[in-house]
Structure 1
Amino acid sequence: MIPCNLNFYRLIVMLFLVTNAFGQSIKTSDYKSPSQYVLHQKEEKAFTIASTGKSASIFVDSKDWKGIIRAAKDLGNDIGKVTGTTSMVFENARPQSNSIVIGTIGKSASIDKLIAAKKIDVSEIKGQWESFLIQTVDGQLIVAGSDKRGTIYGIYDISEKIGVSPWYFWADVPIQKSEQLYVKQGRYIQSSPKVKYRGIFINDEEPSFGQWAREAYGGINSKMYVNIFELLLRLKANYLWPAMWGKSFNEDDPLNPVTADEYGIVMGTSHHEPMMRSQKEYTDRKTEIGEWNYATNKKNIDQFFYKGIERNKNFDNMITIGMRGEGDVAMGEGNDVENIKTLQNVIKGQREIIQKIYKDSPENHPEVWAIFTEVQRYYDAELTVPDDVILLFCDNNWGNIRRTYPEKEKNRKGGGGLYYHIDMNGGPWNDRWINTTTIPKLQQQFNLAYQSGIDKLWIVNVGDLKPKELPIDFIMRFAWNPDGITADQVWNYTVDWAGRIFGKEHAEEIADIVSKYTKYNLWRKPEAQTANIFSIVNYQESDRVLKLWKEVADKAEKLQSKIPAEAQDAYYQLVLYPAKASATVAEIYLAADKNMLYAKQGRVSANDFYKRAQDLFEQDKKWSDYYNDSIAKGKWKYMMSDVHIGYKMWSMPKANALPEMKEIKPLPEPKIGVAIEGTELSWPDTAEKAILPLFDALAKSSYYIDVFNRGTGSFEFTAKADKPWIRLSQFGGIVQKETRIQVAIDWNTLLDGTFNGKIEISQGKKRVEVQVTAEKGAVPKVEEPYFGSLTGEFSIPSNKYNANIAGKNAKWIVLPDLGRSDASMGITPVTAPSANPDTAPRLEYKIFLPKAEKVKVCLGILPTQDINPERGLRIAASLNDQAPKFIDARKGLVDTFGEYTPSNLAHSKVLKPLPALNDDITFIGNGKQRRNEVFDNLRWLDVELEVEEPGMHTLKIFMIDPEIVLEKIVVNPDNKHPSYFGAVPIQHNVK
């Protein structure tokens, strides 16, 4: 029996390695960190910032922008934090040798003299937006900016490179100490950003952000906001929508707008707060102003708008125009036609106010119109705004953009923008507590937006700002140059991020942790967790998910002891807490699921999972309490206060609550129970026969039988098979609570065909018979890798193709770590024209199908929205040389490429909206509603293909529209054994 058991356990190890596939990361290519011109050892002709206890002085012109003088003082202090010697800052003094000279072209006499003397050449930056030059000249270090923010960015660029992270305040990132700082001889140019306006929206600020600000600063006021302004500038961002629910940026603290302007931040207001007025400003005056209805109360609302622009006219603003209903809802009670007419009047009136106040054309003052929720419907119905206004397109609130930049807008003067959520308080569901946004997804979505032409403005809803530090950092850096971080460089960016904060030694380990916890959260975000997401009885899915969560949490915890003391606070905030707390919440739901199933089966171990969930619930509180009370000496008091367990609807519950569970009362005496893989039933008290899933020789299937106790005490059992080819991992034993028997097949003893047997489990006279059916057929005699099954469902990761054939205008590429598994397949360029199969790029997969019949193929794609309603969202599939079948993600299966034409899809002229894609429910399974494409971050498309003869076949997947991203393929979905991920992928003939 020993050789048999050895073979059996080799099989188990192999299967577990396969099951881990959906949790791994592909790490490829090189991401180049921004140019590093700062040295820590002297080079010939290098400029000395600090050495031997001395530091260079900093010179600025008092006539330059106030924000530049302030930032120069920050640089002086930053040099002191790094070296121990602060650099003195002088205004209106003649720069000395070995000094740092900072100024804006046209605002600084020192810089202008250098230009006139031809000491520096600013032709590449002069007149440009937010560009700067750093250059060593005659023993001086020159920082020259094309404009106010260009100069400020140059200052902070030096700060970051000497060792002061933009996150030194918001994540307590330690200062990198160095006694010597130098700048290489030479010239460094930072060209203008590719996205003009780049910023964040502080939203959903209660209870966490609001309570923290009141505790630390006495309110959400200018003393607090300066920290946000500085962070944005250090990240080379320039735009802010301030906290707004019950808050008024301009009135709560009159210094707020003054300070923002001094720092150099462009201020705006959210998508439903027009003309620089907050919602609170209206609700505070509601009795005076009257109804928030432009159709019936135009005069008073116009006056309200007028005063908002008048008050803020001298500041650097981005004016939100348009109007939504009170409380961030659709405006008006009429139909769409009436609402559109009202909105046209609103915008006309607002533009007249802007003209009157500035005594200038509105086109000279940046304005943005948010095409949010129902407003997109109005836009599709041809509601337009003036050509100079930025069109702000939006995502679906959960990170999937709703539109690429329309072709008809390509020559628009105002350009296009994107409002994007990495935090959501509202429909379809809250996503507030923890970071659930992966960097690969951000790269894919923002690249799609950018390549289509959305490059004038990016504004990101970041909720409480913490704990969204990593995605904020990525988006702001990506916005400067989206071409600088391709999909295959995302891993290297993450390693670089970790290295900048924690040092290179553990950067890859930290990058792995933050990549995985966000990826696993994206399977089901904590607030959207519910019962029975992951199958307990099929493919050991629940156990595999738990294993992955435990691995990433344990890795984070073990690494903590290797992190230097000064970085411990940052490590807890950025790595340990999100990994451990996310894993804790995930396990609570997994434990509750097992408790409910095991209670139904009568297992005494149900109570163990009841207790486990309760213990985890207490641990979750301890993790948050430590965050609030202990890290950084209590600096972040209240910041981690969001309720995040036990959501019943989209909005935050009053308190964390455990999911439904049951305690059971064990029987007074030990009593056998038997449960088997593939069903939630249990025996001996079930009339149905106990039948294990089919054993497949191709897949080398192995299944389990659980023998469990329903009562107190223990019992002895025996297990025996009636056929020698049925292999059991044990033949009996004593059961206190439960034990698991693994069942495998000795395939070498079987010929081709179908074989039946049974296993008998006994406790005294109590017997349970488990039926076994094994299927063995001729194994395909091919050398190349393939997927297949003799008995039913099998899965194919999209990146495990046999051939990747480029099309006329595009090709499929691997998008590493995007989606649930190790990669997805997307198209480059994402702006490629739609194709027909003759010219389309295609992927080919070798698959084995044992029968001549119709086969269902399910394509798992990312939940791309209806981003180009003029043509559809299509992909095609075929077997061998059969005619491809087309599937439209919006409408289902179609038969011909030519069916979709603009005339047939001209719903932009129809006011009735299409069914929202994010409301679609799709499943592969037995009808249990486990799958929602938004919550699952995956949409399933079904197509039926004809298998003309058994054997090897080539499954072909064709790009039709370029935005579809293919993650997974499931063939022959098994409705009797539903699961979240589908069958574990097994590729045969892999060398």
Structure 2
Amino acid sequence: MAHRAYLLLALSLFSGVTAIGQATCVSFSNENDGFPIVQDGVAATVLTSDDDWPGVHRAVQDFQLDIERVTNVNTTIYNFTSGDALTSTPVFIVGTLGRSSLIDQIVNSTDLDVSEVEGNWEAFKGQVVANPLPGVESAYVLVGADKRGVIYGLYDLSEQFGVSPWYWWADVPTTKHDDLFIDASGCSHGTPTVKYRGIFLNDEQPALQNWAMAKFTNGTGAPPRNSPFNSKFYKHVFELLLRLRGNYLWPGVLQSNAFGQDDPDNMPLADYFGVVMGTSHQEPMARGTPNEWSSENGGKWDYSQQREKIYQYWEKGAERAKPYETLFTLGMRGAGDLPMESAGIALLTQVIEDQREILANTFNGTDITDVPQVWTLYKEVEAYYDNGLPVPDDVILLWADDNWQTMRRYPLENERNRTGGAGVYFHVGDPRNYKWIISTQISKLYEQLSLAVARQATSLWVLNVGDLKPYEREIEFFLNLAYDSAVWTPDNLNTYVTSWAQREFEVSEEDSADIAQVLANLTRYNARKKPELLGANTFSLTNYREAETMLDQWETLVAVSTELYDKVSDDAKPAFFQLVHHPVQASANLYKMVISAGINNLRVRQARLSANALEEVVNDAFDFDYDLEDEYHTMLDAKWEHMMEQTHLGYFYWQQPMANSCPLTSRVQARKQALPGPMRISPEGFQAAWPGDMPNQCDIGYNCPSPSLVLDSFDVFGSRYVEVGAGGPNPFTFTATSNAPWISISPNSGSVSPEEPETRVLFTVKDWSAIEGNATAKVTFTAIAAGQKPASFAVDLVAVHNMVPDDFEGFVQGAGVVSIEAAHAARNSSVSGVTWAELPGLGRTESGVTPWPRMGNDGQNFTLGEGPSIEYDFYTFTTGANGTILVSAHISPIFNSQGKERPIGVGFQVDGEPAQSNYFVPPTVPGKDLPTGWVNYIGEAIMTVNSTFVAAPGAHNLKIWMLEPAVVVQKIVIDAGGLKQSFLGPPESVRV
């Protein structure tokens, strides 16, 4: 577990220090008598030692450049030799304990306490030391336990000075200061939470590969496969990774790439920087399979048939990687990252034994358990382990997610004492590759990764980042949490993005909060339904005003993002465009395009002329999609040309389409009048329109009665509407009149024409106190068109005036349902120190609640009715069939990650009815990828868990009982007989 002497994060946000989740030891004035790095135009001299790691010397050069970037003052780097006379002050001394003779000399001569650094992986300590060297009265001394400890210590200061880790990769401007000071007590950090913290460049065609080809080659990549991923490219990746405090990389694997062959400088460069290299779950023994296998050997990739050739192939990989810091991937999958045809426990046991033998022979004289190794339990491979495949105790078990950031499994209690430990791997894949734009919530990452920490899966974390851009912020959070998980809690998680916005754009606290809200909504909206899965009918076009609400939300988001973009400095605009404004605009435009296509199709079926204008909206949005891509590619002298080339429209199976295609739309004949006349009446909640026969008016589709609308006194919308539309080229005027005085009609008249083909007429109740019980009325629409007889059509209205007792507090049924956001509980109990806690921003609508702490009650479960409960008070006026109500909990997708003996479950109880337990996760068939129905859960980003209770109309209490940890409840919907189809469920009910 990481340890750090850090100030409260909330306080650091107001210190002016541009760092995220770090100890704040830098200031820009000398109020606290700090150590001067730059003061009055004079920079400290940086002392190093010749015998230190080459990677340390390289990072020191970055440190020198960072100081100049911030202050425009150049500092001197001096390699100190014992006996040298120093005349310049101040002095900044940096080096690796046990490697740098300079640091060892200072430790020995000053009794500098390095106990919290020595022997601790990647730890560092900095402080002012008196008389560290002859002639030096005092100096700031930065000591690293190893080379990366030093490097992180330097980059930690650089970030606090004002240099974003993304200064190159996202063009974030450097914050300028005249003076830089470090507190005498300095900044320190112990061993990170997760030992190996890495990213995986994957599915890197078309964007990343085409960009790299244009920027790092002359248009021709390395032979024999024309790969552009050379050392010029990787030096930028390595620097970014270290600035983000990562230490591990899986390089690109697909298309034409093979890290060890593409450039002879790639592997030594990684070691020079201090980056540990590995290979992905399908690339054993530090070899870029399948590309290296195809170029060197060919033949079938099957160990049962080609053991000798594959063994020799792996031997070469191990020998090639031997001089460099490598975490070797073990195991084997079939060609194309598919299950191996002849795979089984016996064969894979032989594979791992042979791979271990190769490593023992290659590292002759080294204990094999000291050679870092990992085996990734990806897809069917997990089943082999669960069914008894033996894995050496020192090998890291890397547990995989479902490709959508939901972990399939964590180490069980009896697996947590393995010397190799465990880790987690977040991948991207079927049922749709979602590589275009950010659609993963930071709150979702935190929820899953905090479980990994609690269950001791902290040896290795790997995140599939696709093309790296445009996932910058989420990559940093992943690595930030891996570096020091103790910094982030549910109570301060929201401050991550606000502090990130202040660092990147130098904005006020108010604007940083607005940026954080924009980004929270961006990822929430995209996570509801990944853009690649979005369909024209995903959101209901008729119920709960869902589709139009989605469009309104995106429109508002674009407006706020535009306002913020206009406010940031010109220097920050390119970064803001990449990191905020482009993903907001592009996502909003896509949603507008696809949902408008759905409305177009509906209006065509309703014979409404406005369908044609919506087709134009769709086509314009399709063109604008490319305009935004082109803007991204041409800015900054085309620095990021190709980076947004990923196709994202027209998916029809898991892999990307070869070209973007516009959603299907249709038209009505604009010059021909609809058969029933010029006026079309489309009431809210109906897919049908009147007059005239058509489906969805009633079951038989003809001779149907007039539509009826219900106005409910506790309906959250407070109104119902009818859309009066054009049924062809003939303009008309209309009036809407009622036979009841309690109805308010707005507007009660209007004009409809091909130029203005729609008018929405709202119905509300003027005064609910004037209605007792139910009241009925009729609204008559009369159309007058030149050359035609007046045409009338009536819509029935029913006003339902419900009332609750004065002493009731809680949620009230409206329109036949009660909808409650899970965080809005009436009561929350605690048992054995475990309670239900809110995870802010998580999920599709508001947030989620989950038992906390994650491993409370010693990680054990509770018997139904004995654990912590969270309660909701609600009031109903009706029931469903047989006097029952249906309680539906919207729960974040989750697996039985505690093992077969601990299936995930939750309990529900209404009033005095017996509590019901629900173990709702479908069983997984060994060797299969996912449980039955999991694709639906992924697509909807939710699992709906249902329980039925007998409940007469009146006041009720719902309790949700904890059975197992890790369940996250987002929303509760109670159907009292009126629930309609929608994607997100009804909006939250009125609360009194």
TM-score (norm 1): 0.91
The separation in 1 between residues aligned to 2:583 and 2:803, in whole angstroms, is 49
Preserved CA contact (<8 Å) 2:153 2:188: no
> Which residue does 1:570 correspond to in 2?
575
> Which residue does 2:627 correspond to in 1?
622
Shift of the alpha carbon at 1:517?
Answer: 0.8
> Which residue does 2:4 correspond to in 1?
none
Shift of the alpha carbon at 1:281?
Answer: 4.0
> Which residue does 1:636 correspond to in 2?
640
What secondary structure sits across from 2:272 in the alignment? helix
Greater CA drift, 727-736 or 402-411: 727-736
> Which residue does 1:864 correspond to in 2?
894
> Is 1:259 the equivalent of 2:276?
no
> Is 1:695 the equivalent of 2:711?
yes
> Which residue does 1:6 correspond to in 2?
none
- The change in CA–CA distance for 1:709 and 1:29 in structure 2 (over 3 A counts) is farther
> Is 1:761 the equivalent of 2:781?
yes
Greater CA drift, 405-414 or 665-674: 665-674
Equivalent in 738, 745, 759 of residue 728 of structure 1: 745
* Structure-to-structure mapping, 1:123-522, within 5 angstroms: 123-138=115-130, 139-218=138-217, 219-245=228-254, 246-285=256-295, 288=297, 290-333=299-342, 339-359=344-364, 360-421=366-427, 424=428, 426-505=429-508, 506-522=511-527
Equivalent in 78, 101, 105 of residue 97 of structure 2: 105
Shift of the alpha carbon at 1:854?
Answer: 1.1
Letter in 2 for 1:238: N
Deviations 1:363-422 (A, max 9, x none): 11010000001111212212221000000001110111111221220111110011113x
Equivalent in 666, 684, 687 of residue 691 of structure 2: 684
The separation in 1 between residues aligned to 2:768 and 2:215, in whole angstroms, is 71
Preserved CA contact (<8 Å) 1:31 1:493: no
- The change in CA–CA distance for 1:253 and 1:487 in structure 2 (over 3 A counts) is same
Q: How high is the sequence identity, in percent, across the aligned residues?
A: 34
- The change in CA–CA distance for 1:624 and 1:816 in structure 2 (over 3 A counts) is same
What secondary structure sits across from 1:694 in the alignment? strand
The separation in 2 between residues aligned to 1:734 and 1:704, in whole angstroms, is 17
Equivalent in 645, 661, 669 of residue 649 of structure 2: 645
- The change in CA–CA distance for 1:977 and 1:838 in structure 2 (over 3 A counts) is closer
Greater CA drift, 118-127 or 671-680: 118-127
Shift of the alpha carbon at 1:912?
Answer: 6.1
Preserved CA contact (<8 Å) 1:787 1:796: no
The separation in 2 between residues aligned to 1:637 and 1:386, in whole angstroms, is 46
Deviations 1:149-174 (A, max 9, x none): 10111111111111111111111111
Preserved CA contact (<8 Å) 1:208 1:638: yes
- The change in CA–CA distance for 1:834 and 1:197 in structure 2 (over 3 A counts) is same
What secondary structure sits across from 1:718 in the alignment? strand
* Structure-to-structure mapping, 1:797-836, within 5 angstroms: 797-831=821-855, 832-836=859-863
Shift of the alpha carbon at 1:875?
Answer: 0.7
The separation in 2 between residues aligned to 1:173 and 1:295, in whole angstroms, is 52
Shift of the alpha carbon at 1:42?
Answer: 2.1
> Which residue does 1:875 correspond to in 2?
906
Letter in 2 for 1:252: D
Preserved CA contact (<8 Å) 2:592 2:618: yes
The separation in 1 between residues aligned to 2:157 and 2:12, in whole angstroms, is 21
> Which residue does 1:924 correspond to in 2?
none
RMSD between aligned residues: 1.9
> Is 1:85 the equivalent of 2:110?
no
- The change in CA–CA distance for 1:823 and 1:557 in structure 2 (over 3 A counts) is same
- The change in CA–CA distance for 1:373 and 1:952 in structure 2 (over 3 A counts) is same
Preserved CA contact (<8 Å) 1:79 1:85: yes
The separation in 1 between residues aligned to 2:474 and 2:235, in whole angstroms, is 21
- The change in CA–CA distance for 1:176 and 1:964 in structure 2 (over 3 A counts) is same
> Which residue does 2:988 correspond to in 1?
985
The separation in 2 between residues aligned to 1:723 and 1:613, in whole angstroms, is 41
Shift of the alpha carbon at 1:777?
Answer: 3.6
The separation in 1 between residues aligned to 2:197 and 2:947, in whole angstroms, is 42
Deviations 1:466-496 (A, max 9, x none): 0000001111111112121012211111100
What secondary structure sits across from 1:542 in the alignment? helix
Greater CA drift, 847-856 or 432-441: 847-856
Preserved CA contact (<8 Å) 2:25 2:186: no
Shift of the alpha carbon at 1:30?
Answer: 7.4
Equivalent in 683, 699, 724 of residue 707 of structure 1: 724
The separation in 1 between residues aligned to 2:506 and 2:729, in whole angstroms, is 55
The separation in 2 between residues aligned to 1:43 and 1:446, in whole angstroms, is 40
Letter in 2 for 1:645: L
Letter in 2 for 1:172: D
Letter in 2 for 1:345: Q
Preserved CA contact (<8 Å) 1:594 1:609: yes
What secondary structure sits across from 1:206 in the alignment? coil
The separation in 1 between residues aligned to 2:313 and 2:324, in whole angstroms, is 18
Shift of the alpha carbon at 1:838?
Answer: 3.3
The separation in 2 between residues aligned to 1:828 and 1:792, in whole angstroms, is 33
Letter in 2 for 1:253: D
Letter in 2 for 1:264: G
Aligned residues between the structures: 924
The separation in 2 between residues aligned to 1:970 and 1:797, in whole angstroms, is 9
Deviations 1:277-327 (A, max 9, x none): 1114444346x3532111121111111111100111111000000000011
Preserved CA contact (<8 Å) 2:175 2:506: no
Preserved CA contact (<8 Å) 1:598 1:606: yes
The separation in 1 between residues aligned to 2:395 and 2:625, in whole angstroms, is 47
Preserved CA contact (<8 Å) 1:889 1:941: yes
Preserved CA contact (<8 Å) 1:247 1:280: no
Shift of the alpha carbon at 1:188?
Answer: 2.8
Greater CA drift, 580-589 or 737-746: 737-746
Preserved CA contact (<8 Å) 1:646 1:657: yes
The separation in 2 between residues aligned to 1:300 and 1:693, in whole angstroms, is 74
Shift of the alpha carbon at 1:97?
Answer: 3.5
Letter in 2 for 1:232: L
The separation in 1 between residues aligned to 2:954 and 2:602, in whole angstroms, is 40
The separation in 2 between residues aligned to 1:312 and 1:805, in whole angstroms, is 55
Shift of the alpha carbon at 1:769?
Answer: 2.1
> Which residue does 1:792 correspond to in 2?
816
Equivalent in 565, 575, 579 of residue 584 of structure 2: 579
Equivalent in 800, 808, 820 of residue 775 of structure 1: 800
> Which residue does 2:220 correspond to in 1?
none
Equivalent in 121, 142, 150 of residue 113 of structure 2: 121
What secondary structure sits across from 2:492 in the alignment? helix
> Which residue does 1:36 correspond to in 2?
24
Which has the higher relative contact order, 1 or 2, with Cα contacts under 8 A spaced 6 or more apart? 1
Greater CA drift, 977-986 or 411-420: 977-986
> Is 1:889 the equivalent of 2:898?
no
| Structure 2 unaligned residues grouped into runs of 5+ | 1-8, 14-20, 131-137, 218-227, 694-701, 785-789
The separation in 1 between residues aligned to 2:30 and 2:820, in whole angstroms, is 55
Shift of the alpha carbon at 1:187?
Answer: 3.7
What secondary structure sits across from 2:571 in the alignment? helix
- The change in CA–CA distance for 1:452 and 1:127 in structure 2 (over 3 A counts) is same
What secondary structure sits across from 1:489 in the alignment? coil
Equivalent in 537, 540, 548 of residue 543 of structure 1: 548
Preserved CA contact (<8 Å) 2:817 2:979: no
Preserved CA contact (<8 Å) 2:709 2:795: no
| Structure 1 unaligned residues grouped into runs of 5+ | 1-27, 892-904, 922-931
- The change in CA–CA distance for 1:446 and 1:117 in structure 2 (over 3 A counts) is same
Shift of the alpha carbon at 1:216?
Answer: 0.7
